[in-house]
Structure 1
Amino acid sequence: MTLVDAAVYVDGRRVASGTAAEALTEARARGGMAWIGLYRPDAAEMNELAGLAGLHPLAVEDALKGHQRAKLERYDDMTFLVLQPARYLDATETVEFGEVHVFAGPDFVITVRHAENPDLATVRHRLEGRPDILAHGPYAVVWAVCDDIVDQYQPVVAGVENDIDEIEDALFSGDPAVGKRIFGLQREVIDLHHATTPLVDMFDRLQQIVLESSGAAEAPAIRDVDDHARRIVTKVEGFRPTLESALTVHATLVDQENNEAMRRMAEFGLEQNEQVKKVSAWAAILFAPTLVGTIYGMNFDHMPELHWSLGYPMALGLMAATSLTLYVVFKRKGWL
């Protein structure tokens, strides 16, 4: 059911409820205001409501498509706002974003939610307890919705700030998951930046619209929300360079670890190479007497050295000479 609530307010008090069409008709008949709350309406419902309230086609198209950046558009005597509320999820340490569209006309306010957050029923209930505020008309509702959304940014900013502090503490711990966490936080901060940065200009323009429509000299309530939004934007803008610095430090630490690993591998390779040299040298030294012994161990009949009285000493001398020569050669080359 996309219609959450539709009510008529006269002098700030709720006097009737019904369908969206009934609320609009009753509000105009009584000279009051209709507040219609919708949750993910389809095209047929939005187009029907657009015909009844005289909504601009471009604003209706944006409301149907969703996934819009925060903005404020003015169409004749109707104001259209797109807001991106956020909430911090402690369980997953992530930020969840929603989307709210607000149509404000001379005698109606239409709020369209595309996510569970924020709970506009609570905002309505709170305003209904303050008929003195609600009596100011549609822009009192716009103020209340904007104020609620901006207030919800406070715990989000605090949660992100705490996550950044944790990352700064974990940078030198050697945890390989730190890099992934930094990238995740950067994405959240970018989304938060997109959601909050346009608010300053939006609320400046909204103040002018309220002053023009009411004829008042000032709009302190909107200015207060504007001040809160400016503080939020300043905080969020400070997160990005902090995360960029953390990412640079992390990349430097990873490079240092990789360089250290490469150095250890090079040292191990050199050490292994020295061992191979020693083994190879001793194998060559031992191979020389083995070769001599193998030759004279074949016992052929026609081997003069076998019947020579100096044959045995000669074989031993040859073995010793070749081994000693190879030892001296390898020793000079540093293999032994």
Structure 2
Amino acid sequence: MLTSYTVENGHLLVREGPHEVEALRRAVWIDLLTPTPAEERAVQEALRLEIPTREEMQEIESSSRLYKEDDVLFLTAPFLYGVEGGEMGSTAITFVLANSTLVTVRYATPKAFAVFSARCQRTPVMLLGTPDGVMLHIFEQIVDRLADILERIASDMDRASQAAFRTARAKVKASAKDADLKDALITLGQVGEVTTRATETLLGLSRILTFLTAEKAVAVRKENQALIKSLVRDVRSLVEHANFLNGKANFLLDAVLGIINVEQNAIIKTFTVASVALMPPTLIASIYGMNFELMPELKWSFGYPMAVVMMVVSAVLPILYFKRKGWL
């Protein structure tokens, strides 16, 4: 889908679908969402630039993601999307920055794009004044969105860790304890996944901003250069916070797995004690269960009670010994 954003006389004009060449050239921002070949050709012919294909956008070499052709910058990075919907993933988005137009090429919709588009409806002059300003404001919205996501998963991780340790200390049913520990493991797994993808997005933004800093003399207008410094600081702080959350998640994951191991060891110890306690009675029962004709106690009237008493005593003695040693 092709969507163009144009500011005329202080009013925002948003057009979707096929465009005339002049309408594309007047647009300050052209957003291509899963573009068709016809839409790509229309933009290329109107702006006289090459739109990268999806395969080119997915290349991981830095020279393929960040480069300059004439006065046009091509900036590609992976961006996190779908955190709320459960279909979380990373998608490559390309920003083509020309002198008069910004073109974004994407195949998914991070929420930051939808929020920024809604903000443009309210303050089009401030947000859509220049193509480099549009791009930097989009980056700003993405960083704000990532900060909100990291704050939320930090709260989720704290709740999961408190529930896990509270359950470990409480005397509750094994089924309830297992359910709480399972929830904690699932939450910590989600935290690790989100922080990893958020860090990937932040590192991609950091590379773009570094490239822009080197090219800002010709690519970024003077009034927008302060935004780059602010974004660099914000991205750096979020990377550090994401690394902290990832380390904390790994620590809590080890702790929860340790709690599970302790619970499993207690169960295994119970079975071990039961098997050791039942070995002597089993031996006695096996001896007197043999069908030999000449057995001294076979016709003895007290033979059966004596065998039962011996089996009980031989089962109790190991249990008393284990308790004396503190193993129970």
State if a TM-score over 0.5 links the two structures: yes
Structure 2 CA distance, aligned partners of 1:124 and 1:217?
Answer: 19
Pick the aligned partner of 1:50 from 21, 44, 50: 44
Question: In the TM superposition, what are the counterparts of 1:108-119 in structure 2 within 5 Å?
Answer: 108-116=101-109, 117=111, 118-119=113-114
1:95-138 Cα deviation digits (max 9, x unpaired): 565554321111221123422332142243245242xx644x22
Displacement of 1:257 in angstroms is 2.0
Question: In the TM superposition, what are the counterparts of 1:131-280 in structure 2 within 5 Å?
Answer: 134-135=128-129, 137-172=130-165, 173=167, 174=177, 175-177=180-182, 178-213=184-219, 216=222, 219-280=225-286
Which residues of structure 2 form unaligned runs of 5+? 168-176, 318-328
Which AA in structure 2 matches 1:239? L
Displacement of 1:75 in angstroms is 2.7
In 1, are the aligned partners of 2:195 and 2:242 still within 8 Å (CA)?
A: yes
TM-score (norm 1): 0.70
Structure 2 CA distance, aligned partners of 1:250 and 1:97?
Answer: 28
**Number of the residue aligned with 1:307:** none
195-204 or 158-167: which moved more? 195-204
Displacement of 1:283 in angstroms is 5.5
Q: Cα 1:171–1:283, aligned 2, differ >3 Å: closer, same or farther?
A: same
* Identity score, percent: 16
Which residues of structure 1 form unaligned runs of 5+? 28-32, 293-318
Query: Is 2:22 aligned against 1:22?
Result: yes
Query: Is 2:59 aligned against 1:60?
Result: no
Pick the aligned partner of 2:31 from 37, 40, 45: 37
TM-score (norm 2): 0.71
Which AA in structure 2 matches 1:190? T
**Number of the residue aligned with 1:7:** 6
In 2, are the aligned partners of 1:78 and 1:104 still within 8 Å (CA)?
A: yes
**Number of the residue aligned with 1:128:** 124
- Count the aligned residue pairs: 289
In 2, are the aligned partners of 1:286 and 1:323 still within 8 Å (CA)?
A: no
Which AA in structure 2 matches 1:159? R
Structure 2 CA distance, aligned partners of 1:226 and 1:20?
Answer: 38
**What secondary structure is seen at the aligned counterpart in 1 of 2:104?**
strand
Question: In the TM superposition, what are the counterparts of 1:61-100 in structure 2 within 5 Å?
Answer: 61-62=53-54, 72-83=66-77, 84-86=79-81, 88-89=83-84, 100=93
In 1, are the aligned partners of 2:24 and 2:43 still within 8 Å (CA)?
A: no
Structure 2 CA distance, aligned partners of 1:227 and 1:291?
Answer: 91
**Number of the residue aligned with 2:326:** none
Q: Cα 1:16–1:115, aligned 2, differ >3 Å: closer, same or farther?
A: closer
Q: Cα 1:123–1:80, aligned 2, differ >3 Å: closer, same or farther?
A: farther
Displacement of 1:19 in angstroms is 1.2
Structure 1 CA distance, aligned partners of 2:297 and 2:220?
Answer: 112
Structure 1 CA distance, aligned partners of 2:14 and 2:82?
Answer: 33
Q: Cα 1:72–1:183, aligned 2, differ >3 Å: closer, same or farther?
A: same
1:248-283 Cα deviation digits (max 9, x unpaired): 212222222222221111111122223324444665
Structure 1 CA distance, aligned partners of 2:123 and 2:98?
Answer: 18
1:297-333 Cα deviation digits (max 9, x unpaired): xxxxxxxxxxxxxxxxxxxxxx58x969x98xx89x9
**What secondary structure is seen at the aligned counterpart in 2 of 1:60?**
coil
Query: Is 2:93 aligned against 1:107?
Result: no
Which AA in structure 1 matches 2:118? T
Displacement of 1:152 in angstroms is 1.2
Q: What is the Cα-based RMSD across aligned positions, in Å?
A: 4.0
In 1, are the aligned partners of 2:80 and 2:88 still within 8 Å (CA)?
A: no
In 1, are the aligned partners of 2:150 and 2:195 still within 8 Å (CA)?
A: no
